Amino acid sequence: MELFWGSGSPYAWRVQLALEIKGIAYQSRLIEFSKDEQRSPEMLALNPRGQVPVLRDGEVVVSQSIAILAYLERRHPEPALFGRTPGETGAIWQAVMEAALHLDGPADLFLVAMYYGEAEARQAEVRAALPPIAAELGRLEGTLHDRPYLAGLALTAADVVVYPMVRSLLRAADKPDAARFEHGLDGFSGRYPQLAAWMARVEALPGYERTYPPHWRKNP
């Protein structure tokens, strides 16, 4: 298996986490966003949308992070990330789709604006994204009141999907440009104690360190 990924992409990070958890060996193909390599002819042949992650496994090529997780589950069922019973599967997929449809859009907008110096140009959009981000973080915090992981007692695809986005939000909130917004991400562990404890659980996973975005080590 080959994974085409970019350092700091929360979408690629999901797949890296799943590969570690499932103990799947893979070849790392690091794409440099700064060189626009995700839109190279080779990459566009794999994914015409010019986005990572892309997984290649022999003849099979899959893009879209959540689709790759579903593929990996079928290819390497253990340990299960999508549950062992229909009820577990339903709860996990509901949490995955809620993240994809309610958190990812506004969070991605905030990340991109802070990472690429667009905070001023996209002020109105950033402001509009903050209430849904806060609402989703509030829901996740509530979910964790009676369970250690987002879909129950065990780590699942829900955690793998949500963690990289929340972790990326915290990094973006530390950028100087973020200070012009009331983003509510400062004092995170006080405001969202359950989420902070859950993040520490994810970060204690064997293999977590191998998935940490390499350029964040130099530029946190």
**Where along the sequence are the contacts to a copy of itself (CB under 8 A)?**
48-49, 55, 57, 59-60, 62-64, 66-68, 70-71, 74-75, 82-83, 85-87, 89-91, 93-94, 96-98, 100-102, 105, 139
Strands (DSSP E) contained in 68-220 are none
- 141: CB partners within 8 A, 6+ apart: 192, 193, 194, 195
Shortest Cβ distance from residue 220 to a copy of itself (Å)? 29
The token pair at 75 is: 């290819």
Q: Please identify, using beta-carbon distances, which residue of 67 and 121 lies nearer to a copy of itself.
A: 67
Question: Cα separation of 124 and 159, whole Å?
Answer: 30
Shortest Cβ distance from residue 133 to a copy of itself (Å)? 16
Q: Please identify, using beta-carbon distances, which residue of 117 and 142 lies nearer to a copy of itself.
A: 142
Shortest Cβ distance from residue 82 to a copy of itself (Å)? 8
Q: Please identify, using beta-carbon distances, which residue of 55 and 160 lies nearer to a copy of itself.
A: 55
Q: Please identify, using beta-carbon distances, which residue of 20 and 73 lies nearer to a copy of itself.
A: 73
Question: Cα separation of 115 and 204, whole Å?
Answer: 26
Q: Please identify, using beta-carbon distances, which residue of 29 and 102 lies nearer to a copy of itself.
A: 102
Q: Are strands 2-5 and 27-30 parallel, antiparallel or unpaired?
A: parallel
Neighbours of 122 (CB within 10 A): 17
The token pair at 91 is: 């709860």
Shortest Cβ distance from residue 206 to a copy of itself (Å)? 25
Shortest Cβ distance from residue 1 to a copy of itself (Å)? 11
Bond from prior residue into 79 cis (ω within 30 degrees of 0):
yes
Neighbours of 91 (CB within 10 A): 17
